[in-house]
Every structure is written in C-alpha cells, then in structure tokens.
Amino acid sequence: MDKLSTTVDTLIVNLVESYHRGGANGINGKLIPSRESIITILRTLQSLLFPGFYEEEPINESTIKSITGQRLFFVYRRLAEEIEKGICHDCQESGSCQSHETCRARAHTISMLLLEQLPGIREMLLKDVDALFEGDPAAKSRSEIILAYPGLAAISAYRIAHVLYREGVPLIPRMMMEHIHHETGIDIHPGAAIGESFFIDHGTGIVIGETTVIGQHVKIYHGVTLGAFSVAKDGANTKRHPTIEDDVTIYAGATILGGETVVGRGSVVGANVWLTHSVPEYSKVK
C-alpha cells in the first residue's frame, strides 16, 4: 500500500506539472460548456421540433401547450448558460476578455434568437422529411423517417447548430454536431450552407466540410465526402469546400474536393467518383 501511495503521489505531481506546461485545461476558473448539457439541450430542441416522437408517454391537446412552454423555458435558460460559458472561454483563450455582464447579455440574446427561429427550422425540416419520404421507396411513413432515419437526425441537429454557428457561438455548434457524428456516422460541419429538401440516405461515412454550399433538393448517399484540399492554417477563412447546385444527386463513395469546384444544377455524380473540377449543369459524372 505504501508503494502504491508513493506511486500515486508521484503521478499527481507529474500530471499537475503537465497541466501547467501544456495548457489545454479547464482549471483556474475557466468556463467550458458541458457536453452532457449540450446533448440534453439538443434532445429537448428535437422534441420541440417533432413533439410526440421522442416521449415515454403520449402528448395530447390538453398538455401540448404546457409541455411546449416548459421545454422552451428549459432550453432558453440552459442554452444561455452554456453559450455564456463558451463566450467566456473564447474571451479567455483569445485574451480579449469582455465584461462578464456583456457575455451574459449576448448569451441570452442568442438563446432567444434560436427559439424564435424554431418555427422556421421546423418548416425546413418538414421539407427534409418529405424529400426523404418521396426519395426512398423503402420508407413506409414520415413517422418512420423521424424515428429511424440517421439522415434526418443529422439534418435536424445541423439546422439547429447552423443558427448558433452563424451567431458566432464558440464550441457549442461543433459539440452538437460531433455528438450526432458519433451517433450516426454523418459528419456535417455546422458552418456548411444547406438548402431545403435535403436528402441523406443511409448516411454512414458522409463528410460535409465547413464552407460547403448545397442547394435545394440535393440527394447524397453514404460515404460521400464534400471536402477540401490540404491547405495551410492561414487559408482557414477561404472557401475550401465545393458548391453543389440544386437537384444534384451524389451516389455512394463519391469524393468532391475544392472551394472552386461547382457541380452544376441537375447533375448526377456516380459512385466512387473522384472529382476536383467543376462540371456544367445536367452532367453525368462516372
């Protein structure tokens, strides 16, 4: 036991010294958003968008208003707390610390802004559900899509996280999408711009990069990468990922790279294609 105590004491000293040498720690009052809280908030938001689908007990007309109100208040309060942590952490990391009151006020403003956009997000998601239902012969109902399709889970999280990303919220949009990535195998950066009626079938292995632009009525199958060429860090603020115009279909395993690459409207990109240049409208790329 004495040897174990001595070993543990030595490990404590070594680990604590490494914390101070390497940074990347959350001690000394640094506020970091809680991963578990972000997951809970995301699940509650998804329940607000699709009420009755993720419940242990049925929701009926007599309770829908009170349950919706409770959820809205919960999300507003908890999300504002987590956004505040993210903003404060970002300020501390960059060395441009604002007043705590300023960070808190901004966090509450962004939290309310997201709630105000929920009806619009829901309308977008209903179009995504329709696109999945109409595009997949195996889908028996829209309820099946909401409950069982990983593509819809990823799209719904993305449409929430994208609002926060546009508002400059640090950490949280990526945390939301990495949770969904872990659950579905679909990796969508919250900065991507994705139009309505988006169709993801199967989904596993899809990667959609930060500066990707996707139009309306686009279909993407599993294993597709919309990525970037390797660039230096100073190229982070440039458009690095492709543009996919309206009504494009991209089949399994295709890789499309580069910020100047445009896949024209109505085109079809075949399975396992490697594409690094633009193609005109209504092309068939094999």
Are the CB atoms for 278 and 263 separated by under 8 Å? yes
Q: How many structural domains comprise the chain?
A: 2
Of 186, 206, 228, the last residue of a domain is 186
In a domain, 214, yes or no: yes
As a whole number, mean pLDDT of residues 95-102 equals: 72
Q: Quick: pLDDT tens for 191-229.
A: 999 999 999 999 999 999 999 999 999 999 999 999 999
**Residue 24 pLDDT:** 64
In a domain, 114, yes or no: yes
Q: Quick: pLDDT tens for 118-130.
A: 999 999 999 999 9
- Check residues 103 and 21 and name the one with the higher pLDDT: 103
Q: Mark whether 140 and 226 lie in a shared domain.
A: no
Query: Which CATH number is 281's domain given?
Result: 2.160.10.10
Q: Mark whether 176 and 204 lie in a shared domain.
A: no
Q: Quick: pLDDT tens for 12-22.
A: 888 888 887 76
In a domain, 237, yes or no: yes
Query: Domain of 36?
Result: 30-186
**Residue 30 pLDDT:** 60
Of 157, 186, 215, the last residue of a domain is 186
Q: Mark whether 156 and 259 lie in a shared domain.
A: no
